[in-house]
Amino acid sequence: MTREKLLRVRLSNEEYERLKDYAEATDRQISEVIRDYIKRLPRKPEDGSR
């Protein structure tokens, strides 16, 4: 799968450290952790408001 899109997010130091610690504890890259969370999102909002 070709990945062409870039997501840029501002995090506090605490948020970044929490994410980094989780990635290290699960032996994954930060981007893999984020992708796994995205996969859990529904394809479309339930109420159709967006």
Residue 20 binned pLDDT confidence (cut-offs 50, 70, 90):
very high
46: in domain: no
What's the number of domains the chain is made of?
A: 1
Looking at the whole model, is its pTM more than 0.85? no
- Please tell me the predicted confidence (pLDDT) of residue 46: 73
Written in H, E and C, the secondary structure of the chain is CCCCCCCCCCCCHHHHHHHHHHHHHCCCCHHHHHHHHHHHCCCCCCCCCC
Residue 16 binned pLDDT confidence (cut-offs 50, 70, 90):
very high
- Please tell me the predicted confidence (pLDDT) of residue 45: 73
19: in domain: yes
What confidence tens digit (pLDDT) does each residue in 35-50 have? 999 999 998 877 666 5
16: in domain: yes
3: in domain: no
2: in domain: no
**What is the residue range of 30's domain?**
11-39
